[in-house]
Amino acid sequence: MKKDRNLCVIMADITEDYRDDYLVGLEKQANRMGYVTTVFSMPLLNQLKTGGEESVYDLIDYDRYDGVVFFEKSFSAHKSLAKRLEKEIAEKCNKPVVVIGNSNVFTDVFMGDHSRNIEQLTDHIIEQHGCELLYLLGGYHDFPTNTDKGFVNSLKKHGIHFTDDNMFYGGFWRECADNLAKDIACGAVEKPDAVICYSDIIAFFFIKALTKYGIRVPEDIIVAGYSAAACSQNGIISITTCTCDAEYIGRMAAACLHSRVTGEEPPAINRPRANIITGMSCGCGSNQHIDMRFRLELHEKRSIQDICYANSELDEKLLECTDYIQLSDVIAQTHYLIADKSLMSVNLCLNANTSRCIYMTDSVGTGNFTDFNSTFILPFEPANSELPNNLHVLPVVFRGRCYGHVTVGYNEPVAYNLILKEYIKRLAISLEVMELRGIAEAVSSHDTEQVVTGDKHKLNTVFVCKGDALHKVAVDNVLFFETEGRTTMAVMKTGRYAVRSSLTQLEQMLDKDVFMRVSKSALLNLTKVISYSPGNDRTLLAALVGNVTVRVSRKCAPEFKERLAEV
């Protein structure tokens, strides 16, 4: 189908579980209807806090898209960020917006009705195993969902008494599982016949925690999960679970947005049946055939990834880079590690207005850099028909510093994997190391400005770091430059500021009639010298304006006296 529209997706991160199916379903439906999807997300590597990764959302230009999908459900670990983004979307975006999750701002919301699936799962546990005391584990107390509704409906249907004590909240991660297992083992909570968990992940951690306290599954407590993740049937223990409608909900969200954009009726989408998948955690699946082919394929896939990663020597190559040319060459050699892509563009931020593409598949190669507007996600603006069906935009961030972003294109609906996240993290570390060495594009056009006078290149201004920003200052205002550890500092009347260039590079570019190297660690502005006096070991102490002194080494002292007389 002809691609004539672009759809923006805002999400937190891929998780490699059923929640990624929302994104895949959305991409599938959007691609079928002729949309390119552009996904902005944070490669957090399962962190519960951000370190500046949310800077990726600053790249979004809402005018470039026909509609927006806000994947609020993916921000379960970053609720405050979700609220801030939702407010920004409402203020900046005048295009149709659809939300997957919860919203107090937008009306087109897709939470998904999981009650039918959970009800059928609970029915199985009650009818097949005769359980009478059941708990629901996971979620938040102040945020009831239709998952709770399905659990309660099943208890009512079977005449089982229940209260709020049957609900155990605590989020969507392992902490809630550990806490309930401990309370059961210590007798703080009555031991149930069965526990239904919000996800297979929670179920796995709950079983693991129960085992630690000597409580057997399923002999002592039956455990069930939800979402039917592939690993739930082929892991250490197969978990009784139920399929969920994540992909269906993603497709519905895309269809709804298409209707809002075009005014057409949304296409009909069939809802899949809910299927109960029994496993060892309830006892039904203890003699079931294990999908050995799946296990072998998964093991083979991971082995191949590990071998390719080791043979690529990515870490070693990245840490040896001393400039952008070498870095782009390493990316060209190793980008094959990111499978199934049709496009990859690595773009570094030069300043608030400009980004530099140092590598782009089949377009920008080693040393052939392209500078472009920092609000763009690619150095070129190809027509939609020339773009891959799905673009994923991720920030390159390390220790709170955003170095730029990476755009990866896929022709098939896909959620990018951990390999890409690890690759970007190592790229960010490499850039950090290059900056600490003081040689990463230290004398590029965005760090310094030069004026040409005859055959002499004189450095006129220099960028210094003030907080998280770079500020341009005249070199005439610098009293002296000195090294502090591996960092070069510019000392002025107003304070001391880090400079990206090394002392040697500055010496080569500064006006030699004005600046002089007076020691291994200091480069002095001779016009700022008021007087000098003898120091220890035949050194000199130069007194500068602002009541500042700089030591001149014995080796440099004679030349210093000569040069000072000429200034």
**Rg, Å, the chain Cα set:** 30
Residues 6 or more apart whose CB falls under 8 angstroms from that of 180 comprise 135, 137, 168, 170, 189, 195, 206, 209
User: Cα separation of 359 and 341, whole Å?
Assistant: 15
Q: Sheet containing 529-534: give its strands across.
A: 529-534, 540-544, 548-552
Structural contact between residues 399 and 51, judged by C-beta atoms closer than 8 angstroms: yes
What's the pLDDT score for residue 15? 80
Identify the residue whose tokens are 């010298």: 529
Cα–Cα separations (whole angstroms), residue 182 to 111, 120, 207, 222, 384 = 32, 28, 12, 16, 55
Sign, Cα dihedral of 313, 319, 321, 326: positive
User: Cα separation of 199 and 244, whole Å?
Assistant: 10
Cα–Cα separations (whole angstroms), residue 105 to 57, 83, 101, 145, 199 = 19, 10, 12, 18, 28
Q: Which of 400, 349, 396 is nearest to 375 (CA)?
A: 349
User: Cα separation of 177 and 138, whole Å?
Assistant: 8
Structural contact between residues 254 and 7, judged by C-beta atoms closer than 8 angstroms: yes
Separation of first and last alpha carbons in the chain: 73
Tokens of 75: 């921000």
Sign, Cα dihedral of 191, 197, 202, 203: positive
Which run of H or E residues covers position 196?
strand 194-197
Residues 6 or more apart whose CB falls under 8 angstroms from that of 164 comprise none
Cα–Cα separations (whole angstroms), residue 366 to 122, 394, 457 = 58, 22, 27
User: Cα separation of 396 and 390, whole Å?
Assistant: 19
State the SS3 of 415-448.
CCCHHHHHHHHHHHHHHHHHHHHCCCCCCCCCCE
Structural contact between residues 14 and 390, judged by C-beta atoms closer than 8 angstroms: no
- Give average pLDDT by consecutive 10-residue segment, the chain, 567 residues: 86 84 94 95 83 92 95 88 94 95 91 86 94 91 77 93 89 85 94 93 90 91 86 72 90 95 91 86 66 57 64 79 88 88 93 89 77 89 86 92 94 89 90 70 42 49 72 87 84 86 82 90 92 84 89 90 81
Portion of the chain with pLDDT greater than 70, in percent: 87
Answer whether the bond into residue 379 is a cis peptide, omega within 30°.
no
Structural contact between residues 196 and 226, judged by C-beta atoms closer than 8 angstroms: yes
Structural contact between residues 17 and 200, judged by C-beta atoms closer than 8 angstroms: yes
Structural contact between residues 145 and 109, judged by C-beta atoms closer than 8 angstroms: no
Structural contact between residues 92 and 125, judged by C-beta atoms closer than 8 angstroms: no
Other beta carbons less than 10 A from residue 233's beta carbon: 23
What's the pLDDT score for residue 454? 38
Query: Which neighbouring-strand residues pair with 347?
Result: 357, 405
Q: For the chain, list the domains and their CATH numbers.
A: 5-111+309-437 (3.30.450.40), 115-244+275-295 (3.40.50.2300), 448-566 (2.40.50.1020)
User: Cα separation of 235 and 220, whole Å?
Assistant: 21
Identify the residue whose tokens are 């010496």: 507
Residues 6 or more apart whose CB falls under 8 angstroms from that of 80 comprise none
Phi–psi pair at 110, nearest 5 degrees: -120, 100
Tokens of 13: 């991160």
What's the pLDDT score for residue 235? 61
What's the pLDDT score for residue 174? 80
Other beta carbons less than 10 A from residue 132's beta carbon: 13
Structural contact between residues 224 and 203, judged by C-beta atoms closer than 8 angstroms: yes
Other beta carbons less than 10 A from residue 303's beta carbon: 10
Other beta carbons less than 10 A from residue 344's beta carbon: 19
Residue 522 CA to its chain's centroid (Å): 40
Other beta carbons less than 10 A from residue 139's beta carbon: 22
What's the pLDDT score for residue 449? 47
Strand spans (E) along 284-325:
none
Tokens of 488: 């070069």
Helices (H), 515-566: 557-566
Other beta carbons less than 10 A from residue 63's beta carbon: 9
Instruction: Give SS3 for 534.
Output: strand
Return the biggest CA–CA distance within the chain.
Answer: 102
Other beta carbons less than 10 A from residue 138's beta carbon: 28
Tell me, yes or no, if the pTM score tops 0.75: no
